[in-house]
Amino acid sequence: MFALCIIAFLCLLPVNYSAPAACENLVRPLDHLDFHHLKGRWALVAGAMRDNSYLEKFKTRDSASVSFGNTSENSTVSFQRVIGFSGSCQYTQSNITLKASGFSFNDINMAVTILNMSCPDCLLMSFKNESNDVLRLYLFSRRRAVDQKEMEEFRAQAECLNMLEPSAVDPTKELCPEKISDTADTDTAAQTEVKTEGQNA
């Protein structure tokens, strides 16, 4: 009887302890972020949110991309977000400061951690609030869509971080054109709107 209990206990061990260990490996931040890897444009492939209200908002997007570029100042990188929905394009231009495992925005109090992933042309960004809870997880890639195995990995990562079921972006919808300048009057309203949205994170 005693032996049976020990066997049962040992058999249960892997089941009880595998989940946290697997999660620890799945949601590891990049240990050193390389600007040359970041540079250029990334298309949004999928997102996972903590809150349903934000998930609903996320689903209204047709497409999105981010671009990292140089600025005249050494430690500052320009960061452009482009969101397409209902036939229009919203542009938000920010300056960011690169950190070891992510970056922070120079104008708003928000930090992004880049998580490691097996997919080499992917960029997994996690947005945390002040209490260090991950509220949003965005999967970007140089491709418009990732394969099933990579999507499974993202799904598992989202689950580890207690996110809702991920939502994929339709890869057949065209990306908005990239735009270098952020001075056009028509973009001012959109810029403010997206910034407000970011601050709610």
Ligand X SMILES: *[C@@H]1O[C@H](CO)[C@@H](O)[C@H](O)[C@H]1NC(C)=O
**Dihedral through CA 180, CA 186, CA 191, CA 193, nearest 10?**
-160
- What is the contact mask toward ligand X in residues 136 to 175, using x (rule: CB under 6 A)? ----------------------------------------
Range 72-111, binding ligand X (CB under 6 A):
72-74, 76, 93-95, 107
**Sign of the four-CA dihedral 126, 81, 42, 32:** negative
Give residues with Cβ within 8 angstroms of 24, minimum separation 6: none
131 touches ligand X by CB under 6 A: yes
193 is a contact residue toward ligand X (CB under 6 A):
no
Least spacing, CB of residue 157 vs ligand X, in Å: 11
Q: Which is nearer to ligand X, 26 or 64 (CB)?
A: 26
CA atoms within 13 A on the CB side of 23: 10
Q: Shortest approach of ligand X to residue 179 CB, angstroms?
A: 13
By CB under 6 A, residue 183 contacts ligand X = no
Q: Distance between CA atoms of 192 and 187, rounded to whole angstroms? A: 9
Task: Name the helix (H) or strand (E) containing 148.
Answer: helix 148-160
Token pair 């050193």 is at which residue? 32
Q: Which residues bind ligand X (CB under 6 A)?
A: 28, 31, 50, 70-74, 76, 93-95, 107, 116, 118, 129-131, 133, 135
